[in-house]
């Protein structure tokens, strides 16, 4: 819709990044509109300094940091 495409998105990484942006940055560090939200997602997903699995590792680190147990049998 905004002409923004993700080059390195894996599965639902973009959903996690979008929700993280909406919860933590949108309306503050990121202007509150769809174009800037999409640009933020693209910058995170397609970060040239990033690595394969970066978004999943961020999620996992957040979960572990909050001491939330993960039932891995639900994911396998």
Q: Residue 2: its pLDDT value, please?
A: 75
pLDDT of residue 28: 92
Amino acid 75: pLDDT:
81
Interval 6-45: pLDDT, tens: 999 999 999 999 999 999 999 999 999 999 999 999 999 9
At residue 48's C-alpha, the angle toward residues 47 and 49, to 5°, is: 90
Q: Which helix (H) or strand (E) holds 16?
A: helix 13-24
Query: Encoding tokens for residue 22?
Result: 């909406």
The two structure tokens encoding residue 4: 């923004």
């Amino acid at each position: 819709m905004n002409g923004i495409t993700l080059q390195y998105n894996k599965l639902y990484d973009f959903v996690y990044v979008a929700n993280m942006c909406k919860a933590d940055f949108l309306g503050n560090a990121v202007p509150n509109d769809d174009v800037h939200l999409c640009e933020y997602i693209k910058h995170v997903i397609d970060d040239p300094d990033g690595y394969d699995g970066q978004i999943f590792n961020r999620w996992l680190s957040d979960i572990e940091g909050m001491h939330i147990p993960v039932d891995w049998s639900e994911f396998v």
